[in-house]
Amino acid sequence: MGTPDFAVPALTALADYGCRIPLVVTQPDRPKGRGRKLTPPPVKKAAEGLGLAIMQPEAAKSDAFYQAICEYRPDLLVVVAFGHILPKRVLEIPLYGAINVHASLLPKYRGPAPIQWAIINGEEKTGVTTMLMDSGLDTGEILMTSETPIYPKDTAGTLHDRLAQAGGELLKQTIAAMAAGSLRPIPQNHGEATYAPMLKKADGRIDWTHSAERIERQIRGMNPWPQAHCFYEDLRLNLFKAEVRPATHNALPGTVIPGFSKELRIAAGRDALSILELQAASGKRLPIGDFLSGMHIPEGAVLK
């Protein structure tokens, strides 16, 4: 059971490992893009490529969905970024329970956006966890974990791709250990739990009173979505890449201050930020030199 790109490596890992997959459950096709064309989720595309049966329920709490899963009499459910909360009665169907692959080192960063918040909050490492699912939100017993450092230039996109692959590998290891009888589930320490709430477009709005270091992490954590942004007059600017510049200044946060030629240096609550890659509304994503060749933002201007 899975839906977005993050879940695809787990599905292909199961197939490569030789698991018998009688059914793939994913979200319904949704309208996407400017043309609002009905588009299948990535897991559906992957399942079709593997020749697997597919189910796309509108709701996971319905009697029809419960009965359909019961008919398969599964040994195991594998759930990766499915997008539906599974009711207790569904979790109790499989003989060996339900395994979830989660993109954090639980109990830290439970919830829907663990990758982004780990970067934004300045964590030095993260990873993936396999756990036995219960009726709580990412509260089940831990089966196995795999760590990875968060590199200084990691974006949510690069970290997502690395963790997705790690999740597929960890899933294979978990199922092998389960088959060998060597798994020892470990209860989570709920007192150490933190939550990673779902991101909204508004979370990308930059508050220049924050430190340059925090804003730079926000830019990386919001890349590729929902994109860190600010406004120059009425023009929205999406920021994709920046570097911290140590600076002592008395400028109002958000003010363009002196920098090198072809540099856009912005005063922050502490230090300054040099914008390296950005995009104006309806324009192309550009390196700063190319951007400033087409649009001048003068020293003293204030971004909000």
In tens, the pLDDT along 111-132 reads 999 999 999 999 999 999 999 9
**Domain covering 201-294 assigned CATH 3.40.50.720 in the classification:** no
C-beta pairs of 31-38 under 8 Å, 24+ apart in sequence: none
Output the average pLDDT for the chain: 97
What are the pLDDT digits (tens) for 2-49? Answer: 999 999 999 999 999 999 999 999 999 999 888 889 999 999 999 999
With bands split at pLDDT 50, 70 and 90, how would you rate the model's confidence at 248?
very high
Residue 182: the pLDDT is 97
Q: Of 177, 165, 161, nearest to 11 (Cα)?
A: 165
Same fold, 5-192 and 201-294: no
Greatest CA separation for the chain = 69
How many whole angstroms separate alpha carbon 176 and alpha carbon 173?
A: 5
Residue 35: the pLDDT is 85
For the chain, the domains span: 5-192, 201-294
Residue 177: the pLDDT is 97
Fold classification of 5-192 is: Rossmann fold (3.40.50)
Percent of the chain with pLDDT over 70: 100
What are the pLDDT digits (tens) for 190-206? Answer: 999 999 999 999 999 99
Q: What is the pTM of this model?
A: 0.96
